[in-house]
Amino acid sequence: MNISFDMMEDKVEFFEATNLKDLEKQIQAQIDLNKSILLSVHSVSHQMYVSEDGRRLYSAVVHFKNKKA
């Protein structure tokens, strides 16, 4: 039986929270986790949405890429 492991090159993750502090915590936790598989942040995109009743929803997309030595 042959087992081969390929390095993950790219990973895109989506985050959502009702306030910026929670969104930042979620992203930071995932950054720390992805460091163990040698991925670093390549880009971040974020948005805020305000519903009709005034509630805010923050979202972010984080693109992780393999660290090239």
Taking the chain (69 residues) in runs of 10, the rounded mean pLDDT of each run is: 79 96 97 94 96 95 87
Domain that holds residue 38: 11-66
CATH of the domain at 38: 3.30.1660
* pLDDT at res. 43: 96
Question: Is residue 56 in a domain?
Answer: yes
pTM (2 d.p.): 0.83
Distance (Å, whole) CA 68 – CA 60: 25
Can you give the pLDDT at residue 69?
A: 52
The 8 Å CB, 24+ separation contacts for 53-57 are 55/18, 56/18, 56/19, 57/16, 57/17, 57/18
- Does some domain include residue 6? no
Residue 26 · residue 17 · CB < 8 Å: yes
- pLDDT, residue 67, reads 78
